[in-house]
Amino acid sequence: MAFDLLKARFEAVALAKSQVAGLQDLEAEKPVDTDFQIDRFIREWRELPARPEGALPFIGLGLGRVMTVAPDAVDDDETETFEFDIVKARAQALALVQAKLEWLEDQNSQSPLPDDYELDTTIRQLRNLPPRPESDPPYRGLGFGKVPVEILLTIQQLRHVMPQAKSAQAFLDPLNDCMQNYQINTPLRKAAFLAQLAHESGQLIFTREIWGPTAQQRKYEPGTRLATMLGNTKPGDGSLYRGRGLIQLTGRANYRSYTKAVKQRDPKAPDFEATPNDLAAPQWATDCAGWFWSTRKLNPLADAKEFKIITKRINGGFNGLEDRMKFYQRALDTFL
């Protein structure tokens, strides 16, 4: 695999944006580890001094200020004060980071930008990886920017199968890598695989299960038979290990199993049990779908055109079969 900086930047930003999306619902009133990483990232791009040792994250960044007025104050009293609210500060910080990431995503420079180095450092710290070697460009060694040798799927083919897939370009290379890794490499296999992905992800829109929680999602929490099957053992595991990926991988046990499998191939891959939001990024959302496909032995069924049986193994039933069949026919028309 060759290394492409533009592709690596795009993939790193996609990963970071998925992390930000996963934190937007967080209402913890005490600092969490990610708060400190976000604080450092903001200070570095603003070229500010490091956070004072012992200080809360986001202190001194102008975030999280809540005005308070004494109960007995009158209009002309100067009794207004400001308190620090970490929940508000976190939300404002995430909005800043999101805007920064969107700016970086639009940059077409073939040379590394200062923000590339900052994002590289943040990702390595979140993954507990060693610092980037000085001679390496940003993102090298993180699994980003790989250019596949064999092209199993073109952008024209992908858009023919999924005409509403606005993210087709972002998923094209991950899909090629995935189909190579899991031998989804014949017309029948590609057709069945892409048809199921098209339905499961809403044509590459959804890589993270929308959370209510619904009545069914409440069953993900410990104390139910479903939670036991999913390996969810701690309060909050249901939401934390909600469905992610193009074939919604769900449950702590499945996240752990996928981590173990993918690290055998790529030791630098994330620990998805520790950082579950990584699974929503295009690279891993696609790869985990291929892993699911392979572990359920769906290639032989695709070879035999047993599309209904594939649907049952993925869905547990035949929900959305008509929609899946429409995509399957489009895919067959594309590859045969």
Residue 212 lies in a domain: yes
Confidence of residue 47 (pLDDT cuts 50, 70, 90): confident
Residue 162 lies in a domain: yes
How far is the C-alpha of 335 from the C-alpha of 191, rounded, in Å? 7
Q: Let me know whether 99 and 68 are in one domain.
A: yes
Collapsing DSSP states into helix, strand and coil, what is residue 231? coil
Residue 116 lies in a domain: yes
Residue 150 lies in a domain: no
Q: What share of residues in the chain are helix, strand, coil (percent, to 5)?
A: 50, 5, 45
Confidence of residue 68 (pLDDT cuts 50, 70, 90): low
Residue 317 lies in a domain: yes
pLDDT above 90 coverage of the chain, percent: 67
**Chain position carrying tokens 């409440």:** 218
- Check: CB of residue 268 under 8 Å from CB of residue 144: no
Residue 78 has pLDDT above 70, yes or no: no
Q: Let me know whether 175 and 134 are in one domain.
A: no
Q: What was the pLDDT predicted at 222?
A: 96
Q: Let me know whether 67 and 213 are in one domain.
A: no
| Predicted confidence (pLDDT) per residue in 117-135, tens digit | 999 998 988 888 899 988 7
Residue 14 lies in a domain: yes
Tell me the pLDDT of the chain averaged across its residues.
Answer: 91
**Chain position carrying tokens 């993270």:** 208
Q: What was the pLDDT predicted at 22?
A: 77
Residue 63 lies in a domain: yes
Q: What was the pLDDT predicted at 113?
A: 93
Residue 52 lies in a domain: yes
Q: What was the pLDDT predicted at 41?
A: 87
Q: Let me know whether 187 and 258 are in one domain.
A: yes
Q: Let me know whether 258 and 184 are in one domain.
A: yes
Q: Compute, in degrees rounded to 10, the torsion defined by CA atoms 179, 243, 128, 282.
A: 40
Q: Let me know whether 81 and 107 are in one domain.
A: yes
Of 145, 177, 208, which residue sits at a domain end?
A: 145
Residue 214 has pLDDT above 90, yes or no: yes
Q: Determine how many CB atoms are found less than 10 A away from the CB of residue 274.
A: 13
- Check: CB of residue 120 under 8 Å from CB of residue 129: no
Residue 77 has pLDDT above 60, yes or no: no
Of 92, 121, 145, which residue sits at a domain end?
A: 145
The candidate with the shortest Cα–Cα distance to 86, out of 48, 128, 39, is 39
Q: What was the pLDDT predicted at 33?
A: 84
- Per the omega criterion (within 30 degrees of 0), is the bond before 131 cis? no
Q: What's the number of domains the chain is made of?
A: 2
- Check: CB of residue 244 under 8 Å from CB of residue 280: yes
Of 93, 110, 145, which residue sits at a domain end?
A: 145
Residue 75 has pLDDT above 60, yes or no: no
Q: Let me know whether 237 and 292 are in one domain.
A: yes
Residue 238: give the domain boundaries: 155-335
Q: Let me know whether 83 and 196 are in one domain.
A: no
* Domain containing residue 330: CATH number: 1.10.530.10
Q: Let me know whether 316 and 240 are in one domain.
A: yes
* Per-residue tokens: 31: 């600092």
- Check: CB of residue 147 under 8 Å from CB of residue 14: no
Collapsing DSSP states into helix, strand and coil, what is residue 16? helix
Give the phi and the psi of residue 193 in degrees, each rounded to 5: -65, -50
Give the phi and the psi of residue 223 in degrees, each rounded to 5: 110, -5
Q: Let me know whether 65 and 200 are in one domain.
A: no
How far is the C-alpha of 179 from the C-alpha of 185, rounded, in Å? 6
Burial readout 150-164 (b: 16 or more C-beta within 10 A, e: otherwise): eebbeeebbbebbee
Q: Let me know whether 135 and 162 are in one domain.
A: no
Confidence of residue 146 (pLDDT cuts 50, 70, 90): confident
Residue 24 has pLDDT above 80, yes or no: no
| Predicted confidence (pLDDT) per residue in 153-176, tens digit | 999 999 999 999 999 999 999 999
Which residues share a beta bridge with 65? 84
Q: Tell me, what DSSP letter sits at residue 210?
A: -
Mean pLDDT, residues 178-206 taken together: 96
Q: What was the pLDDT predicted at 57?
A: 93
Q: Let me know whether 114 and 245 are in one domain.
A: no
Helices (H), 24-130: 33-45, 86-105, 114-126
